Amino acid sequence: MPTLPVAVTIAGSDSGGGAGIQADLKTFAALGVYGASALTAITAQNTLGVTAIHEVPTDVIAAQIEAIITDIGADAVKTGMLASSPVINVVARELKRHRVARLVVDPVMVAKGGDRLLQEEAVDALRAILLPLATVVTPNTPEAEVLAGMTIRTMTDVREAARRIAALGPKNVVVKGGHLEGKDAVDTLYDGHGFQEFTSERFPTKNTHGTGCTFASAIAAGLAKGLPVVDAVAGAKAYVTSAIKAGLEIGHGHGPLDHFWMLRTPVSP
């Protein structure tokens, strides 16, 4: 019987199903990877925003990671919402203890509706403790501004921010360009030596809830399959572009991507 690659998401739960571990597990399934999860927080959330957050105790987070990796294993791990420095500390400790080799860090700071998902005191811990462990880190431009300590307005700024973030320790940095103005959405990969851009059309839609989670987990799925980083990023970009184009009219705010668009009406990237 064939076995599937295993990807693990360590992130918060989105009760609305559009982002967080729900989006991650949908992405893993859509891309042919077995998904497991360790919850860091429970959010009361929908397409309009976040109304409550409850952090999972750190010993329970550690126990989840231990249970997954010692039995099922992890070909790649993706982190999302980590909320606070104690959570970041325990996650980093467990990742090092279990010698996780392929780690994608989505430095989640703010939800689509503007609600803060990472405490300000935790940013330093994210920089100092987690980023040095990352194979790939995937900030959007507001997150990259915080991590790099600079304003980003142009592609020249994007490249400088990527260099600054890479200096914190991650092997690869992808600065997502969805927040920048322009006809196209351009994501920029920096591998410590050079840059590569991944360009897609922008679509006139508000249904983009979970885009960042989905992109990072799609990269993790590619790495779990053994793809080189550049191919994992390219595949993630194509998958997310199609999922945005398909979209879902769900709720009264920012609706989710259609993670299983290929099972319904096919759309071209």
Task: Output the pLDDT for position 203.
Answer: 83
The residue ranking higher by pLDDT, 133 or 117, is: 133
* Better-predicted residue by pLDDT, 202 or 87: 87
The pLDDT of 150-168, averaged and rounded, is 95
Mean pLDDT over each residue of the chain, to the nearest integer: 91
φ/ψ of 155, rounded to 5, equals: -65, -30
Query: Do the Cβ atoms of 176 and 212 come closer than 8 Å?
Result: yes
pLDDT band at 114 (very low <50, low <70, confident <90, very high): low
For position 167, what pLDDT does the model report? Answer: 97
Query: Which residues, in sequence order, are CB contacts of 75 under 8 Å at separation 6+?
Result: 5, 6, 7, 33, 102, 223, 224, 225, 226
Rounded CA gap, 189 and 176, in Å? 9
Q: Which residue has the higher pLDDT, 171 or 200?
A: 171
Is 64 in contact with 39 (CB distance < 8 Å)? yes
Q: What is the pLDDT of residue 115?
A: 53
**pLDDT tops 90 at residue 202:** no
- Output the pLDDT for position 117: 62
How does DSSP assign 110-169, residue by residue?
B-TTS-B-B-GGGHHHIIIIIGGG-SEE--BHHHHHHHHTS---SHHHHHHHHHHHHTTS
Using the predicted structure, report yes or no on whether residue 201 has a pLDDT greater than 70: yes
pLDDT of 1 strictly over 70: no
Give dist(CA 210, CA 258) in Å, integer: 10
The answer for 247, left when phi > 0, alpha when psi is -120 to 50, beta otherwise, is: left
- Model confidence at 101: pLDDT above 60: yes
The pTM (predicted TM-score) of the whole model is 0.94
pLDDT of 173 > 60? The answer is yes
pLDDT beyond 70 at 175: yes
Band of residue 121 on the pLDDT scale cut at 50, 70, 90: confident
C-alpha to C-alpha distance for 15 and 9, rounded to whole angstroms: 16
Q: Max Cα separation, the chain? A: 52
Cα-based distances in Å from 222 to 56, 138, 213, 227: 28, 14, 14, 5
DSSP at 257: P
Average of per-residue pLDDT across 114-134: 82
Coil, strand, or helix at residue 212? helix
In sequence order, what are the residues at sequence separation of 6 or more whose Cβ sits closer than 8 angstroms to the Cβ of residue 99? Answer: none
User: Which residues are known catalytic residues?
Assistant: 176, 208, 210-213
230-267 pLDDT per residue, tens: 999 999 999 999 999 988 889 999 999 999 988 876 55
What confidence score (pLDDT) does residue 267 get?
A: 53
Which domains, ranges and CATH numbers included, belong to the chain?
A: 6-255 (3.40.1190.20)
What is d(CA 5, CA 10) in angstroms, rounded to the nearest whole number? Answer: 17
Q: Give residue-wise pLDDT tens across range 53-96.
A: 999 999 999 999 999 999 999 999 999 999 899 999 999 999 99
